[in-house]
Amino acid sequence: MKADQSLKNNIKSRARQPFTTKELAIAGMFAAVLAVISQIAIPMPTGVPITIQIFGVALVGIILGWRLGVLATVVYILLGAVGLPIFSNFRGGINILLSLTGGYIWGWAIMVFLCGLRPKTGSKPLNTLFMFLLPVLGTIVDEIIGGLQWAALSGDMSIYGVFTYSIVAFVPKDIFLTILAVIIGIPVRKAIHKLI
């Protein structure tokens, strides 16, 4: 009887606790991974650096799944917003999120959610297709959010101009990096889950 009551209390406790200590530690580690990857950037005259952050965000989603992936990404964004120099080029502060490039950072929460979804269609080929399509869709959503903020804050470029420039300069590279993250992330996820 006592064992049954203890089990019920344990289940109730788990239901109230959205994340375990282990999950919080893993999310924190992957927020740190995003901070490191964010420093790999090539400055551009337009003010929008060429980075591989998209690769990092997609990788976090693929490896951790949507729940922990969103947590890790939001932790990273919040830490940067309060001033830690973890955004590209060792910058930090809320002003970065409100700048020309800030929309791309906001969009990562949606992107990592889409990258972290695990399709279960009952068909392995269809599941594999969705494992690639959802992250690419996430990248496109991120580009749209980022482009809209860039166009809204830029006095000298129209929405059409921003998206034309993005399609040429960023979208092909970002889609390539997203697909690469899926290819690398799936076996890494399997290896990590075996260890955990």
The ranges assigned to domains in the chain are: 20-195
Q: What is the pLDDT of residues 27-72, one digit of tens each?
A: 999 999 999 998 987 766 665 567 789 999 999 999 999 999 999 9
> Could you give the CA distance from residue 160 to residue 145 in angstroms, rounded to a whole number?
14
Q: What is the DSSP code (8-state) at residue 82?
A: T
Contact 132, 179 (CB under 8 A): yes
pLDDT of residue 161: 78
Q: Is the pLDDT of residue 165 over 80?
A: no
- pTM higher than 0.85, yes or no? no
Q: How far is CA 34 from CA 25, 48, 165, in A?
A: 14, 18, 26
Arch. (CATH architecture) of 20-195: Orthogonal Bundle (1.10)
The average pLDDT across 110-138 equals 94
Q: Is the pLDDT of residue 5 over 80?
A: no
Pick the residue with more confidence: 48 or 75? 75
